[in-house]
Amino acid sequence: MSNAAIFPMVQALIEKMLTVKGNRMQRQILIKEEEIRAVLTEVREIFMAQPMLLEIRPPVRVCGDTHGQYYDLLRIFEKCGFPPYSNYLFLGDYVDRGKHSVENIILLYCYKIIYRENFFLLRGNHECASINKMYGFFDDVKRRYNIKLFKTFTDVFNTMPVCCVISEKIICMHGGLSPDLTSVASVMTSIAHVMSPIAVSCATCCGLTRRMTCRAS
């Protein structure tokens, strides 16, 4: 889908998803499967075009796990500013555990599509098929849509960057560092050689340590 076609659709989807701001019932949002597939196709192309190690400049707001807490995500934006008025770097774990994983990840992907140079998403250990099958995202997508769509989500997860360096000084990632990586330069050199997509152990990928196994954190 061309930019001329995808941008209006994504903007309309964002507007629909923001209509629930302040809703105390915290209801699910009806997102059509074709809308999700269009978003996933476009955002995958964006991730594939960007390196596995991002290098960005401030100002940027750095946010940790959101785990399907869509209404908490909206509160973050209400407090800190909706894109593009604030730049963001999220460190992973967008799905599982919470009740609104689909809404959570799709809104983030929509913002990535519209503001690709100011809105950044790293991969966490929960952006992983084996973890999703234990902690809820697989069941959520299967119940609301189908298994084929879950596999499409997984394909996108495998293309997401795993590390970000801010101003060549601050290293941001979901997990920890390998003891073999002792400086910003060593981190940047090691990750620069990682090619997307990655379908290996999520903990190995997101924690950058050679001895971790795929486990939830």
pLDDT digits (tens, 9 = 90+) for 31-69: 999 999 999 999 999 999 999 999 999 999 999 999 999
* Residue with the larger pLDDT of the pair 15 and 180: 15
- Kindly report the average pLDDT of the chain as a whole number: 87
Q: How many CB atoms lie within 10 A of CB 62?
A: 16
Is residue 216 in a domain?
no
- How many distinct structural domains can be found in the chain? 1
pLDDT number for residue 1: 62
Is residue 50 in a domain?
yes
Is residue 136 in a domain?
yes
CATH number for the domain that contains residue 180:
3.60.21.10
Provide the residue range defining the domain that includes 25. Answer: 3-207
The model's pTM is: 0.87
What whole-number percentage of the chain has pLDDT above 70? Answer: 81
Q: Which range scores top for mean pLDDT: 25-29, 131-135, 199-203?
A: 131-135
Beta bridge partners of 62: 89
Is residue 213 in a domain?
no
Is residue 118 in a domain?
yes
Is residue 214 in a domain?
no
Answer yes or no: are the C-beta atoms of 113 and 39 closer than 8 Å.
yes
Is residue 154 in a domain?
yes
What does each C-alpha distance from 205 to 96, 103, 136 come to in angstroms?
A: 18, 25, 21
Residue 2 has pLDDT above 70, yes or no: no
Q: How many CB atoms lie within 10 A of CB 209?
A: 15
Is residue 73 in a domain?
yes
pLDDT number for residue 214: 35
Q: For 103-159, what is each residue's pLDDT tens digit? A: 999 999 999 999 999 999 999 999 999 999 999 999 999 999 999 999 999 999 999
Q: How many CB atoms lie within 10 A of CB 55?
A: 12
Of these residues, 67, 126, 174, 193, which one is catalytic?
A: 126
Distance (Å, whole) CA 213 – CA 42: 31
Amino acid sitting at position 109: Y
Active site residue 126: yes
Q: Parallel, antiparallel, or unpaired: how do β-strands 170-173 and 88-90 relate?
A: unpaired
